[in-house]
């Protein structure tokens, strides 16, 4: 192949004049981590709330929860980000739209909210399946003890449900990290976008994407190990997997 | 065992002499009977798809001149020409692995990139400028002070914008768009006050906008005009010499000038837009004295 490898490229100054090519990758990595962390916080909190709503008695709450889940789960993430970024400001009153569009971190905010909501639908399904996986007797016992619905969820159902769905939630965390790469389409300078910029400037495409690949791999390995550790730490002796 | 060197010697003599001393791209073209052009899908007017999805454009016409020269040199009158659409993110791997032999588009020739690929004679010169709504009356770079300005992520234009912003202390909020179309869309929807890009790309976006009169290009450029070149594989001197000669002959001939006028000063397919861009002083020089120099200053004489 007529490709000229140059692994030393990362130590060369980039034409942006703010540092080396390695610094560009590191800036991207930092943006990926911040975006993923905030998006995961939204996904986890909203997802847990919607997941609980889905298991409440009555009709209204599960209906609302299912509407949220179907809305955000059935549309490609790319389309959702475009809708939030380009269409949403246009349907607001003109002055608000302009304000939102001229906001300095518009791409970042849109990515955090867009990815957060998209992932929240997936987290909601996991949390509600965790609750439904518990024997009916647990809810009945809590009610018999005179616990209010809030207390039932807080002290009886959720602690066990989270333990059951911890492994699939770990996958959702990893998906959140990987999904931040979609945000490059609305101009967020995250890891994949910076790797692309490195290849545009230097034409060293394989080196740039190798660095990005390794970075994603390392982030996700660390996240996986942390989740394993958490699983082991919170395991209730004698319950679930031996 | 002595038969083996003998057999090799016979085999060497048996091969036609012409094919034996060919190397690199020319050898590959001779063996396969095909040459492959990398084309862009929406780089108007350099390389894009017309209403029949056929690649057309200023750079494509230049590449066909190169193909004619290859046909003559290799005595291959029925050389097959393939076109493969490429993106800025995959053109390097496709060129390195031999999928494409020429990249016919609007790729900037600079020193950094020459470490990876080679470029033939410059076919266009373009400076970074900005487009804004005409109603905003912005003509100088200083007029952008304190505004939100967009450019395409990973382009040299965004680097120049950042530099001007820092050097002149303008307090511009710089936003990166994923591609040119999104950058222009951001000006159209007032998300940004101006879009910084190569002037020729701005001209094509304005010409195809719903209301071309609503947009104005600022007068002050961000940089000297940078050269565009057709990209070739590096370290393939015979092929580069052939392409250099073919393009130089074409630029210096009346047909070369006519080709420029066809794409920049007349209605072009598919919608009959006219970019109305006569040759700049630098371009006249680049046609009179063809050069593959990556240094913008060398064209500014």
Domains in chain B: boundaries: 16-125+226-299, 128-217
Inter-helix orientation angle A21-55/A191-202, to 10°: 150
Residue A115 lies in a domain: yes
Query: For the segment A143-165, what is each residue's pLDDT rounded down to a tens digit?
Result: 999 999 999 999 999 999 999 99
Residue A184: its chain B contacts at CB < 8 A?
A: 153, 178
Q: What percent of chain A has pLDDT over 90?
A: 79
Give the angle subtended at the CA of A163 by the CAs of A157 and A169, to the nearest 5°.
Answer: 115
Structure confidence at residue B168 (pLDDT)? 93
Asked if residue A240 is part of any domain, the answer here is no
Instruction: Write out chain A residues lying below 8 Å of B173, CB-based.
Output: 102, 104
**A3: chain B residues, CB-CB within 8 Å:** 92-93, 96-97, 116
B16-125+226-299 and B128-217 have identical folds: yes
CB–CB contact B98 A2 (8 Å): yes
User: Which chain A residues have a beta carbon less than 8 Å from that of B189?
Assistant: 86, 89-90, 101
Interface test with B, best of A3, A14, A182, A193 (most B CBs within 10 A): A3
Contact B97 A185 (CB under 8 A): no
Verify cis geometry, omega within 30 degrees of 0, for the bond prior to A191. Answer: no
Alpha carbon of B266: minimum distance to chain A alpha carbons (Å): 32
Q: What is the pLDDT of residues B108-155, one digit of tens each?
A: 998 989 999 999 999 999 999 999 999 999 999 999 999 989 998 778
CATH number for position A100: 1.10.3720.10
Asked if residue A75 belongs to a domain, the reply is: yes
CB pairs under 8 A between A and B: 93
Q: Which tens digit of pLDDT belongs to each residue from A172-220?
A: 999 999 999 999 988 888 999 999 989 988 899 999 999 999 999 999 9
**Strands (DSSP E) found in B5-160:** 34-39, 42-43, 47-49, 55-56, 80-85, 102-108, 117-119, 124-126, 128-133, 148-152
Chain B residues 140-159 within an 8 A CB cutoff of chain A: 148, 150, 153-156, 159
Closest alpha carbon to B127 in B197, B176, B218: B197
CATH architecture, range B16-125+226-299? 3-Layer(aba) Sandwich (3.40)
**DSSP β-ladder status, B34-39 and B102-108:** parallel
* Average pLDDT of chain A to the nearest whole number: 93
Angle, in degrees to the nearest 10, between helices A205-234 and A158-179: 170
Check CB contact of B175 with chain A, cutoff 8 Å.
Answer: yes
Beta bridge partners of B192: none
Q: What is the pLDDT of residues B262-281, one digit of tens each?
A: 999 999 988 888 888 899 89
Q: What is the pTM assigned to this prediction?
A: 0.82
What is the per-residue pLDDT for A127?
97
Contacts of B159 in chain A (CB under 8 A): 15-17
Torsions phi, psi for B119 (to 5 deg):
-125, 145
In chain A, which residue's Cα lies nearest the Cα of B188? A86
Neighbours of B282 (CB within 10 A): 21
Overall average pLDDT of the B31-60 stretch: 93
- Which chain A residue lies closest to B96 (C-alpha atoms)? A2
Nearest CA in chain A to B152: A187
Q: Which residue has the tokens 């739209």?
A: A97
Task: Select from B298, B273, B127, B145 the least CA-distant residue to B196.
Answer: B127
Name the residue in chain B with its Cα closest to that of A99: B191
Question: Considering its fold, how many domains does chain A have in total?
Answer: 1
Q: What is the pLDDT of residue A28?
A: 95
Burial B144-171 (b: 16+ CB within 10 A, else e): beebbbbbbbbbbbbbbbbebbeeeebe
- A89/B235 touch (CB, cutoff 8 Å), yes or no: no
Q: What's the gap in Å between the CA of A189 and the closest CA on chain B?
A: 8
Identify the closest residue of chain B to A104 by CA–CA distance. B173
Can you give the residue range of the structural domain that contains A101? Answer: 33-190
Q: Which of A3, A185, A200 sits opposite B88 (nearest CB)?
A: A200
Contact check, Cβ <8 Å, A1/B98: yes
**Interface ipTM:** 0.74
pLDDT category at A242 given cuts 50, 70, 90 is: very low
Domain for residue A49, yes or no? yes
Q: Tell me how long chain A is.
A: 242
Do A98 and B190 make contact, defined as CB atoms within 8 angstroms?
yes
Per-residue pLDDT of B154-191, as tens digits, reads 788 988 998 899 899 999 988 888 788 889 998 998 88
Q: What is the mean pLDDT of chain B?
A: 89
Q: What is the CATH number of domain B128-217?
A: 3.40.190.10
Residue A176: inside a domain: yes
Q: Report CA-CA distances (Å) from A197 to A29, A220, B130, B296.
A: 13, 23, 21, 21
Partner B contacted by A86 (CB < 8 A): yes
Q: How far is CA B141 from the centre of its chain?
A: 26
């Amino acid at each position: 192949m007529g490709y000229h490898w140059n692994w030393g490229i990362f130590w060369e100054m980039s034409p942006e004049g703010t540092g080396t090519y390695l610094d560009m990758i590191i800036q991207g990595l930092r943006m990926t981590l911040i975006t993923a962390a905030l998006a995961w916080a939204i996904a986890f909190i909203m997802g847990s709330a919607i997941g609980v709503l889905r298991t409440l008695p009555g009709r209204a709450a599960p209906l609302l929860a299912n509407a949220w889940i179907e809305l955000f789960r059935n549309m490609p993430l790319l389309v959702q980000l475009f809708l939030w970024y380009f269409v949403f400001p246009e349907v607001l009153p003109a002055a608000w739209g302009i304000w939102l569009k001229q906001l300095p971190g518009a791409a970042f905010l849109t990515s955090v909210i867009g990815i957060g909501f998209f992932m929240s639908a997936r987290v909601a399904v996991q949390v509600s399946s965790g609750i439904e996986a518990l024997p009916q007797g647990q809810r009945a016992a809590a009610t018999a003890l005179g616990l209010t619905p809030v207390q039932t969820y807080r002290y009886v159902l959720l602690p066990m449900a989270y333990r059951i769905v911890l492994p699939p939630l770990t996958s959702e965390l990893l998906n959140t990290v990987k999904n931040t790469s979609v945000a490059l389409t609305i101009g967020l300078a995250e890891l994949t976008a910076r790797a692309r910029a490195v290849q545009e400037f230097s034409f060293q495409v394989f080196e740039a994407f190798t660095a990005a690949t390794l970075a994603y791999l390392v982030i996700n390995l660390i996240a996986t190990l942390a989740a394993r550790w958490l699983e082991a730490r919170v395991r209730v002796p004698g319950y679930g997997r031996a | 065992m002595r038969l083996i060197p003998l057999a090799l010697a016979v085999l060497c003599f048996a091969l036609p002499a012409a094919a034996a001393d060919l190397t690199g791209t020319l050898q590959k073209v001779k063996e396969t009977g095909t040459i492959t052009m990398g084309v862009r899908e929406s780089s108007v007017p350099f390389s894009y798809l017309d209403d029949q999805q056929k690649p057309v454009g200023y750079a494509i016409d230049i590449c066909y001149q190169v193909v004619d020269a290859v046909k003559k040199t290799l005595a291959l009158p029925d050389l097959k020409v393939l076109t493969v659409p490429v993106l800025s993110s995959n053109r390097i791997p496709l060129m390195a692995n031999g999928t494409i032999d020429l990249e016919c588009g609007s790729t900037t020739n600079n020193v950094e990139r020459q470490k990876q690929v080679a470029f033939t004679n410059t076919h266009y010169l373009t400076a970074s400028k900005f487009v804004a709504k005409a109603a905003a009356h912005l003509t100088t770079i200083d007029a952008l002070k304190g505004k939100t300005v967009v450019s395409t992520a990973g382009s040299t234009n965004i680097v120049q914008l950042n530099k001007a912003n820092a050097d002149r202390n303008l307090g511009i909020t710089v936003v990166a768009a994923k591609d040119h179309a999104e950058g222009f869309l951001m000006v159209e929807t007032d998300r940004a006050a101006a879009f910084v890009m190569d002037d020729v790309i701005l001209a094509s976006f304005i010409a195809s906008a719903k209301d071309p009169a609503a947009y104005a290009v600022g007068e002050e450029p961000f940089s000297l005009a940078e050269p565009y070149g057709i990209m070739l594989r590096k370290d393939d001197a015979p092929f580069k010499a052939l392409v250099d000669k073919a393009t130089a002959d074409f630029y210096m001939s009346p047909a070369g000038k006519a080709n420029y006028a066809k794409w920049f000063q007349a209605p072009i397919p598919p919608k009959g837009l006219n970019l109305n861009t006569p040759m700049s002083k630098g371009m006249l020089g680049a046609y009179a004295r063809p050069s593959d120099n990556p240094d913008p200053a060398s064209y500014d004489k």
